[in-house]
Structure 1
């Protein structure tokens, strides 16, 4: 074991032949060199997707190769990594959608008030 490697523990599990075949198909993808690597990566992914605290959520986003150079450029300029950029983008999108929703609600409310005013004016004319 190299000095940079954290100590590990051996864990055994039983898998069906189908699951083993599916594991074998993943060897060589995402930098994996063995079934153990595939299993470790799958467990890490599962654990990383769990919320840190109850009531929180996590989202995993696959970033395409076309986006990575832009993220790297922004990182070089600002120090912001993909996670930080994603969070900032999500905050901006939510703020934008809430603003749009607020504008729509204001329009609906204004139209409802105009309709009520017309109805009141119309009913006063008929009295």
Structure 2
């Protein structure tokens, strides 16, 4: 995920006292955690779990009925979004919302057009059948 306004992990590290929490994880989960140690300023498992928990808490929906969606962006799209941000000042979240709204409008229009065409064809078929002399009401 591409973040424009990122805070370095060292800045958000613990200061002062902290509580110890026990957590059961599978071997696969531990292996995945261990693969990420050393990346993005993560020094150990605790750092990674604190960062992941912080990310989860800050990115959870604020109101009931809302839902957050997460997408993985490749290097090329991240580069393009960064350039768009420099040009327009629009962050990826706003661009994605705009694109989704445009997609939904287009989909609704296509469905409306399809429904109208199907209704027209159905009416035409009914008209053709009722014109036929063998059809009796």
TM range (shorter): 0.7 to 0.9
Please name the residue that 1:83 is paired with: 93
Query: Per chain length, whose mean CA-contact separation is higher, i.e. which structure has more relative contact order (CA < 8 Å, sep 6+)?
Result: 2
Please name the residue that 2:84 is paired with: 74
Please name the residue that 1:62 is paired with: 72
Spell out structure 1 runs of 4+ moving beyond 4 A: 4-9, 19-22
TM-score, normalised on structure 1? 0.78
Q: Which runs of 5 or more structure 2 residues have no equivalent in the other structure? A: 1-10
**What RMSD, in angstroms, separates the aligned Cα atoms of the two structures?**
2.5
Are residues 14 and 100 of structure 1, via their aligned partners in 2, closer, same or farther at CA, if it must alter by over 3 Å?
Answer: same
Equivalenced residue count is 122
Matches within 5 A, 1:1-127: 10-16=18-24, 18=27, 20=30, 22-122=32-132, 125-126=133-134
Which structure carries more helix by proportion? 1
Shift of 1:114: 0.6
Q: Which runs of 5 or more structure 1 residues have no equivalent in the other structure? A: none
Distance 2:64 2:42 in 1: 32
> 1:26-77: CA deviations, max 9, x gaps?
2123442222221022213333443221111110111111111211111111
